[in-house]
Amino acid sequence: MKNLFSVLAIACLTLSCGNDSNKVIETSNDITPSTPKNIIMVIGDGMGPTYTTAYRYLMDDTNTPKVENTVFDRHLVGMSSTYPDTNHDYVTDSAASATALSSATKTYNGAIGVDMHKNSVETVLERAKSLGMKTGIVVTSQINHATPASYLTHNESRNNYNAIANSYIDEGIKADVYLGGGWQYFLRDDRNIVNEFKDKGFTYIDNYQSLETPSSDQQLLGLFDNKGLPWALDDSNKHRLSAMTKAAIKQLENKNGYFLLVEASQIDWGGHANDIAAAMGEMDDLAKTLEYLETYVIKHPNTLVIVTADHSTGGVTLGANGVYEWKPDVLRTMTQSPSAITKKLEANKITYDLANQLFNFELTENELSDLITVKDNTLRDIEITAITDKHKAKKISVNKALYTAVKKIIDERTNTGWTSSGHTAVDVPVFAMGNDREKFYGYQDNTDIAKKIFSLLNNN
């Protein structure tokens, strides 16, 4: 009977006691300890509830009558509010929300690990480090971007990128693993922070292939691009977040436990750009990361994974213009981002064959004609404007005009709508798996998530 109960409990953990997915996961017979030894905090930047819904429909097997569940559905436990402490305006930025998630402190938009009076506040990563745990961050942005910075340091403005990078050394090294982008900020003419990390005993890598090489007892700094990483659709490893997360966990595992922050940073960037194709590529990268963590938790039941978003971005709508349908078919075929498609359309003569090859689906005559017209008209505007105002002419962008046209084709094909190029104030989903996941059930504020993590750390 005990063995049967264990099997049922593990099944509930994996499938959320009611999921109709056919996914089967190997499990261990380990007894779950009372308090998690390892805590993994995952943030889908900008990932409001519409993004996880869109991903479900994107991954749907159209040959079956049901819409299959995804890893997000299997582990949904609640919702979270995201508002900052700024005169009840309700809409947060990533810095204020990350500070709330990292420190349980409401603050102003732009604040990095500081309160409304710009005083430093302790973060859960700092607390974990002080307790002798290993710590790490894995992001697809630059590692000194708003979210990771709000766990690692303290600054009055998220825009002080060089100062934030400097603080990763100057305020003491607070993590054992840093993986993401950021050459521009860490390999500067005035300061080579990479060398400073190496002088402190860190192994430095600058390509994904090297993620496999460091030994598990080494501290690790990995920077893989100038700022953020390429879009998942365009990157050499389309599941780079998953690869980096696996490598980080390998480095962090130890007898005292670890705290790891993982951020799918560029879901937000897709939302800001109103780019559904790029955003879904980032969602797939995050989903593959969570599927790995799903199996990891089963094999390491002393681990807790919490997943949420800092806010939602773009006001994306599945079913626009009063039409009762959303059709992700073309998104399933695309092999590169709209941004990459745009660059090639700008650099080459737009032909039927080139456009079909780039989009990886067949364009209509009207769609092709629109692309050609947009490019020709923009080039003509530049030429005419330059006659009287060369400075103004330089501000007219063929790339920007074509990018808008490319996204328009995809939005019309899928019937996707957008209400904003910024953030919105909607509540965001909360997911959890592993030990003590039930603590995150139901509605909560983003500060409550940090409070619960602090409590778990204090019980270790």
Q: How many angstroms separate the CA atoms of 293 and 279, rounded?
A: 21
Closest C-alpha to 407, from 395, 423, 418: 418
Give residues with Cβ within 8 angstroms of 239, minimum separation 6. Answer: 232, 284, 285, 288, 289
Closest C-alpha to 276, from 430, 140, 412, 429: 412
For the CA atoms of 206, 209, 212, 215, the dihedral, rounded to the nearest 10 degrees, stands at -30
Q: How many angstroms separate the CA atoms of 352 and 314, rounded?
A: 31
Look up residue 243 and give its two tokens: 């690869």
Rg (CA), the chain: 23
CB count within 10 Å of CB 194 equals: 18
Closest C-alpha to 250, from 258, 238, 240: 258
Which residues face 136 on adjacent strands?
A: 177, 260
Q: Are 433 and 294 in contact (CB under 8 A)?
A: yes
Secondary structure element (H or E) that encloses residue 392, with its range: helix 390-394
Q: Are 432 and 77 in contact (CB under 8 A)?
A: yes
Q: Is 94 a catalytic residue?
A: yes
Cα 251–Cα 120–Cα 157 angle in degrees, nearest 5: 90
Could you say which of 16, 94, 141, 265 is catalytic?
94
Q: How many angstroms separate the CA atoms of 435 and 427, rounded?
A: 25
Instruction: DSSP for 188-254, please give it.
Output: -SS-BHHHHHHHTT-EEE-SGGGGGSS-TTS-EEEE-SSSSPPPTTTSSSTTHHHHHHHHHHHHH--
Look up residue 103 and give its two tokens: 């420190």
Annotated catalytic sites, by residue? 94
